[in-house]
Chains A and B, each alone.
Chain A
Amino acid sequence: MKSSVITFPGSNCDRDMDVALKKFGFKNKMVWHADAELPKSDLVVLPGGFSYGDYLRCGSMASKSKIMQSVINFANSGGMVMGICNGFQILVETGLVPGVLLRNKYLEFICKNVFIKINDKNNKYFKNVNNEVLEFHIAHNEGNYFCTNDQLKEIEDNSQIAINYCDKNGNIEDQFNPNGSIKNIAGIFNKEKNVLGMMPHPERMIDTSLSGEDGSLFFKNLINNLK
């Protein structure tokens, strides 16, 4: 399985993602934002970080960079595109997934482990994951997912909510919402579910000596689903 990780000026989780993808069997290539052509890929990842210093709105500049037209074409032709954290912010700015990511409700940069509940397994990202709840890491200042009421109705009707913040038993309640996002949304799909944007970082949970193993579950499952 071939993957590509896009590096934007200010990306800082691109190498972690490269390590994670390779650890679980992907042949990964790093792709510079100013390139026009995407290498042949089964999965494209927009990594976390602070592309363009978060100027204007997080992800807004990166969403207009040269490589993104190829990424958008790839996604529109059914290609798997995953945006993590700043990558999620870039995805919403391209319009590939609906909504926006606002400043966290309490204006804090949040850096901690959280539990997320998988809301939908009818897709290549979470199909066959045995667990209902995973422990991932978040580190962001703008993760407060917001969309209009019409958009919310549409994403609920199409089961586009991928994951919600919850407690370790999977209870989705306000008190387990770290950033004020609507309905505790931590990640969403596009309508066809080939594009996933999520705030939590699975690539930070792939080594027992550093963290948990739930990211390993995610990546092992992902590569199997793509085969």
Chain B
Amino acid sequence: MKISVIITLKKDVLDPQGKVIHQTLEGMGFNDVNEVRQGKYFEIDTKETNNDKAKAKVEDMCKKLLANLVIENYKIIDSK
């Protein structure tokens, strides 16, 4: 079973990379962008077959390793 996770920076954490990407987009002519925030995406292929259990395990992974909860939020996407 594949579970996906999206990690994003919390809203009051500075994202200099997102800022530079925003500036570059503007330089390319994309003038209607308000803001860009960069994040991370993970696909976890697990042996667990029960959807709820798999999600619970991935949540534990997020808390313990994948995300740093001081600065990041995580969102678990339903399995496909």
Contacts and interface: CB of A to CB of B under 8 A. Distances in A.
B17 A103 contact: yes
Contact of A102 (B13, B20, B65, B66): B13
B17 A146 contact: no
B70 A99 contact: yes
A100 B70 CA distance: 7
Contact of B65 (A56, A100, A148, A180): A56
Interface in A56-105: 56-57, 60, 64, 93, 99-100, 102-105
Given A103-B17, A107-B16, A146-B13, A57 B70 contact: no
Contact of A100 (B20, B66, B71): B71
Contacts, number: 32
A102 B17 contact: no
A56 B68 CA distance: 10
Contacts of A180: 14
Nearest to A105: B16
Category for how many chain A residues contact B: 10 to 19
B12 to A, nearest CB: 9
A106 interface: yes
A147 interface: yes
B70 A146 contact: yes
Interface residues of B, number: 10
Contacts of A102: 13-14, 71
Contacts of B14: 102, 105, 144, 146, 180
B68 A60 contact: yes
Interface in A24-67: 56-57, 60, 64
A36 B66 CA distance: 24
A4 to B, nearest CB: 25
Contacts of A107: 16-17, 20
Nearest to A59: B68
A178 B17 CA distance: 17
B37 to A, nearest CB: 13
Interface in B36-80: 65-66, 68, 70-71
Interface string A179-210: 01000000000000000000000000000000
A147 B16 CA distance: 16
B38 to A, nearest CB: 10
A93 B70 CA distance: 10
A28 B65 CA distance: 31
Nearest 5 interchain pairs by C-beta: A100-B70, A107-B16, A100-B71, A100-B68, A103-B16
Given A57-B68, A102-B14, A146-B70, 17 more contacts: A56-B65, A60-B65, A60-B68, A64-B65, A93-B68, A100-B71, A102-B13, A103-B16, A103-B17, A105-B16, A107-B17, A107-B20, A144-B14, A146-B13, A146-B14, A146-B71, A148-B70
Interface of A: 56-57, 60, 64, 93, 99-100, 102-107, 144, 146-148, 151, 180
